[in-house]
Structure 1
Amino acid sequence: MKLSKNNFFNVLGGLLLAATLLVGCGDDDSGPTPSGALNANAGPDQLVSVGDAVVLDGSGSTDIDGDPFTFQWQIISSPAGSTAALSNPTSPAPGFTPDVVGPYTIELTIANEKGNSADEVTISVEEAIAPEEIGGTHNTALTLVNRVSNPRKPDYIASTNVNMGADLIIEPGVKIVFGSNVALNIGSSGAILAEGTASEPIVMTGTTESNGFWKGVGVFSSDVRNVMDFVEVYYGGSTEYGVGLYASFNVGVENGDKLKVTNCTIGQSSEYGLFVENGGELTGFANNTFENNGGIPLAIDANNMTQMDANSSFTGNGTQYVELLGSTLSLGTESVWRAFADGTPYWATGNIRVESGLKVNEGVVVEFGSDLAMPIIGTGYIIAKGTASNRVKFLGKAGVAGSWRGVQIFTNDTKNEFDYVEIAHGGSNVPSAGLYELANLSIENGDRAKVTNTIIRDGNGYGLYVENGGALEAFANNEFKNNSGVAMALDANQVHQLDGATTFTNNGDNSVEVLSSTMEHGATEVTWVALSNQTPYFLSGNVDIESGLVVNAGANFEAGTDVRITVSGDGYLSVEGAAANKVNFSGKTKASGAWRGIGFFTNDVRNLINHAVIRHGGSADLGIGLYARFNVGVENGDQLTVTNSTISDSAGYGIFAETGSTLTASGNTFSNNTSGNTN
């Protein structure tokens, strides 16, 4: 049904406008005011209803010198029959109650010894119109029009629930007030088309302006036309909504249903401002304002994150986060997560599974609740790219090590990238599903990611854990600090990706762990660099070198208990230290026999140890054809050159050269080798 405007008030509004244009207001000074020393300002014109209490405002009046002045107000014209009178006419803000429809012209005069100044204000008074009741069930289209020209007055009232089984069309300027605990339900056969304008917004509020007074708007419709544009919604959230929406809010969208929300102000709810259930869809979202809600202003799932815009703002809410509900990102197209210009962070209250493409823009901050995780899985990938001054951040909400599980990479997509990112507080529990170590960031066997310019800190366990067989596609200029365990771990095939600029500070074990593995790069020679601040490589398991490896000057290696390094197959090892910058190999426990040592099983002329310090080997026979204890051993038929090096503290020989091997040695120093310097 169509609720039509009152034509009388259209005519009256035109007459009032004409009267206003003829009479005018402001700058109507009179009297001998020298050089504009006094300037009266009677305030803005007002539109009110009969019986409204009107307060005038002369506070904008001024004296150029800041001297005091007096106020004198008077009604100079009023509708016939009016007996309205001003209260406190000598105050800056007198009042009166209009009793007849029509225009009231009121003059303010200010005066002091310099003279006086006057200004006029027009109060246009219309008949009080009672709001029309719309409570009940509507199975035919309902159009709500702007019945009352005064935007402060309600056009409609809902004393009982409004249940829409058809279109609800709300025109610009409409104000609806809802009774206590009353709801507006947009049913599965219904739709809401609430489209105001910047100058004539639609308003939905309670008959009493108190947080949580009415129930709110519940959208249970998947109609793609559902829209709220330039709508203001206040004071909802009286109780949990129910009927599939188990939260208290101003506006809620059920799983499987849709709503576009743009240019809206949503405030003063008891809890949520806008609650979009996991599986609900925002078909549009932009330029919204969330203010003074009692709880979280906005809750959405991962698939709606791509709708978030920089310009929406969040002010004075009980919890200043946008809640990211536990959910799976599965859009099939690349989703973009954007930061809010006001810096509002996201709070993940459930696990976030990324099963399709995700790009995270600079400045996005996601804080994860207790023991939650963010796995990148299936056909998903993540491109998290911040800037030096505006990083992407994945943090634990509690702000302490081990408050969430961290980020896990379970995909082999070459787009996986972390650049100018900060990851902190992970390691609450093992991610499982193929990754069994506590870490801030983990990469599974067979999967890959780039990690550059990134801070990985305050984790429980590893900072970064790259499982044996996982790949670092790029690695540079990172920072590892305050992780409780080893700073990072990876296998021998990934060590060549490391750089000398990455820093390692105050980690529980301030080293880079090289997992038990075989290095195999075919015909490609790789280089292992010296890490910053003499940070050591920690060989936690046996390392077999089956392709070419150069170790740069200044590199430090600490081997775990009974661990060995072997050079075999098509491999060679060139340790290229310098007189003032040796390469160091030692046991992690710094005691004779802490590890097995280095065994050479190839006849490559590039096998070289120059300017190195090798200590603490000989924990047991190396085996694999070298049945002796030593720091360095060469098998029958193979060769090695050792020069300018210190070989000491072996539980067996310093150097063991099996009969039939070729050992070239010069300029070396030996000490404290149990079985002798050489055999």
Structure 2
Amino acid sequence: MALLMTSCKKETEVNPTGTLTANAGADQQVQVGQVVTLDGGASQDSQGKPFTIQWALVRKPAKSTITLVNATAVKPTFTPDEVGEYELQLTVSNENGKSTDNVVIAASVAQPVTINQNITVKTVLTDRIANPDLPDYIVAKSVSVQSELTINPGVVIAFERDTRMDINDNGGLIIAKGTASQKIRFVGVEKTKGFWTGLMLYSGSNANVFEYVELLHAGSRPLYSLIKAGMYVSGTKAQIAVKNSLFAETTGYGLYIQDGGIIREFAQNTFANNTESGLMLSADNVPQLDAASIFTSGNGRNVVEVMASSVKGADEVEWTPFTDKTPYRINGELTVTTGWWLNPGLTLEMARDAVIRVNTGGYMSARGTATAKITITGAERTAAFWRGIICYSTSAQNILENAIISNAGSVAIVSGKKTNIAIYGTGATMAIKNTRISGSGGYGLFVSYGSSVNADVMTANTFESNAQTNVLIEK
């Protein structure tokens, strides 16, 4: 839009002993929504005497409601809210008289760029439109990223209905690094939950990053199989770092990490108002999660979901509780093949008939405290809801201390036995102390021939409301 810039008029009162001159700065062309800084710093008194400053808005578009911020400062600001011209007058005054000068700010609206082709060459998307509520780019049809895509701070990308963006593994990667004040936003053209499909990440590049990103309004269609998500990280090599980002208003999961996908870094993220849980991932990605991320803001399930997978690795794996007390939801079978350390205050909620298997070569060290117990219970707080814990491991580091193990024994876990905890196999062992074991559909604790527990297991723990004998030790 072309705007005619009107001329500015300068008026000066002259005192025989000195001259005071106002200078309101050069006229400017800006965008609606862009913060404008005026500058009266070139105003002067010929004798160097101090003077007062007063800015006034003398003309603006008819529907504008803007006001000046710090109208007596050398550099006040305002934000144009309508297309058109804004004329401001600077008055400076002292004992030598007063002087005025006007400046005109012309505000226009830039148009978004349409993306309707695959990105096959190195591309940088820039912040074209100052107003963060308006899109810089509109994705009009589903596109594939097959080269390096960098998204600068402040960029807003709006997606038409049911469109998606795939970041492929044949050269594709995405670098989306905003700032605290200039976030990058992926949104629907219509700002409604489940408007566009989402982002699919196949790329295994270690440069993939989301930092200060907001991903909203996705989940109109599945990204893979029947799974809807804001972002789906797929395959055995796909990886991304996610920091200071928001996944919200999705019909489905906020972020879904397929088993084999990799979270390289994860910190200070928020998941809100998604119809499923905010985050679904495999067990080997859990150690990357930070305590400060938030998962309890109105999601369909305010939990971190862990799919059927393995706790594995060369070294001991540590799971940490969240500051907002979000529980982990274990779906299916969780197999432990390395050292697994559960920190005090952590809660595991087990899905229907889910089971924890501590295999030979692994161990489970769950040591709570008197004030921060470790809780492993059913996703529904009813007796006999999940299957239980079975330990085949011979490690002396298997321990449950200051823990709550409840509501297992839904189906037999071994040898036809229903139980909250089973120690099974030659040499298998676990120490259990100061732990409450309750709500089993069978035994509280089952110890098979050739396995062992601490000798005082029956007196060192509390057993409540188990359907069969609290402790069965085969001799």
TM-score class, shorter: 0.7 to 0.9
Worse-matched range after superposition: 165-174 or 471-480: 471-480
In the alignment, is the contact (CA less than 8 A) between 2:360 and 2:392 conserved in 1? Answer: yes
Matched residues, number? 411
Q: 1:324 to 1:418 in 2, by over 3 A?
A: same
Q: Which runs of 5+ in 2 are unaligned?
A: 1-27, 44-51, 68-79, 90-103
The answer to whether the Cα contact below 8 Å between 1:254 and 1:280 also exists between their aligned partners in 2 is: yes
Match for residue 290 of structure 1 among 271, 280, 302: 271
* Aligned match for 1:128, one of 109, 119, 136: 109
Deviations 1:193-220 (A, max 9, x none): 1111111111110110000001111101
TM-score (norm. length: structure 1)? 0.56
Q: 1:253 aligns with which of 233, 236, 255?
A: 233
Partner of 1:137: 118
Deviation at 1:104, TM superposition (A): 6.8
Cα 1:406/1:173, change in 2 over 3 Å: same
CA distance change for structure 1 residues 125 and 176 in 2, over 3 Å: closer, same or farther?
farther
- Displacement, 1:381? 0.9
Between 1:415-424 and 1:385-394, the stretch displaced more is 385-394
Equivalent in the alignment of 1:477: 460
Q: Does 1:17 align with 2:30?
A: no
What is the aligned counterpart of 1:100 among 84, 88, 97? 84
Asked if 1 retains the 8 angstrom alpha-carbon contact of 2:29 and 2:105, the reply is: no
- Aligned counterpart for 2:378 among listed residues 396, 399, 405: 396
Question: 1:51-82: CA deviations, max 9, x gaps?
Answer: xxxxxxxxxxxxxxxxxxxxxxxx8323xxx5
The answer to whether the 8 A contact 1:211-1:268 is kept is yes
Aligned positions of 1:350-389 closer than 5 A: 350-389=332-371
In structure 2, relative to structure 1, the CA distance for the partners of 1:373 and 1:13 (3 Å cut) is closer
Q: Deviations over 1:24-64 (max 9, x none)?
A: xxxx9x9xxxxxxxxxxxxxxxxxxxxxxxxxxxxxxxxxx
Tell whether the 8 Å contact from 1:181 to 1:213 is kept in structure 2 after alignment.
yes
Letter in 2 for 1:18: L
Residues in 2 aligned to 1:279 and 1:124: alpha-carbon distance in whole angstroms: 54
List runs of 5+ in structure 1 lacking aligned partners: 1-7, 31-74, 90-95, 106-122, 491-514, 518-679
Distance 1:328 1:347, change over 3 A: same
Distance in 1 (alpha carbons) for counterparts of 2:35 and 2:373: 59
Q: Distance in 1 between matches of 2:316 and 2:29?
A: 53
The answer on whether the counterparts of 2:33 and 2:131 sit within 8 Å (CA) in structure 1 is no
- Name the residue aligned to 1:556: none
Is the alpha carbon distance of 1:85 and 1:144 closer, same or farther for their aligned partners in structure 2, counting shifts above 3 Å? closer
**Match of 1:440, as an amino acid?**
N
Q: Which residue of 1 aligns with 2:62?
A: 84
Match for residue 147 of structure 2? 166
Per-residue Cα deviation, 1:359-417 (whole angstroms, up to 9, x for no partner): 11112211111212111013111111212122111111122222111011011011111
Deviation at 1:149, TM superposition (A): 2.3
**Does the 8 Å contact 1:103/1:124 carry over to 2?**
yes
User: What pairs up with 1:307-346 in 2 under 5 angstroms?
Assistant: 307-314=288-295, 315-346=297-328
Aligned residue in 2 for 1:279: 260
CA distance in 2, matches of 1:13, 1:150: 4
**Aligned 1:235-634 pairs, distance under 5 A:** 235-242=217-224, 246-256=226-236, 257-314=238-295, 315-432=297-414, 435-445=415-425, 446-473=427-454, 475=457, 477-490=460-473, 515=474, 517=475
What displacement does 1:459 show? 0.6
Distance 1:220 1:20, change over 3 A: farther
Preserved CA contact (<8 Å) 1:16 1:103: no
- Alpha-carbon contact 1:84-1:97 (below 8 Å) kept: no
For 2:195 and 2:106, the matched residues in 1 are separated by 30
Displacement after TM superposition at 1:221 (Å): 1.1
1:140-189 Cα distance to aligned partner (Å, 9 max, x none): 11111112222222211111112101111111111111111111110112
Verify the 8 A CA contact 2:407 2:439 in the aligned structure 1.
yes
Distance 1:173 1:223 in 2: 24
Give the alignment's TM-score, normalised by structure 2. 0.80
Q: What is the root-mean-square deviation of aligned Cα atoms in Å?
A: 3.2
Offset of residue 98 of structure 1: 2.8
Letter in 2 for 1:481: E
Shift in alpha-carbon separation, 1:277–1:83, aligned structure 2, 3 A: closer
The alpha-carbon deviation at position 277 of structure 1 amounts to 1.2
Distance of 2:87 and 2:286 partners within structure 1: 51
Aligned residues of 2:406 and 2:440 also touching (Cα < 8 A): yes
CA pair 143-18 structure 1, distance change in 2 beyond 3 A: same
2:301 counterpart SS class: coil
Residues 85 and 346 of structure 1, relative CA distance in 2, 3 Å threshold: closer
Paired letter, 1:100: G
The answer to whether the 8 Å contact 1:221/1:258 transfers is: yes
Distance in 2 (CA, whole Å) between partners of 1:278 and 1:21 is 60
* Matched residue type, 2:272: E
- 8 Å Cα contact 2:247/2:255 also seen in 1: yes
Task: Report the residue type matching 1:441 in the other structure.
Answer: I
Q: Deviations over 1:215-269 (max 9, x none)?
A: 1111011112111111011000111113xx6411111101311111111011000
| Cα offsets for 1:555-609 (capped at 9, x unmatched) | xxxxxxxxxxxxxxxxxxxxxxxxxxxxxxxxxxxxxxxxxxxxxxxxxxxxxxx
CA distance in 1, matches of 2:413, 2:397: 22
Larger Rg: 1
2-side partners of 1:15 and 1:355: how far apart?
A: 56
Give the superposition deviation at 1:332. 2.4
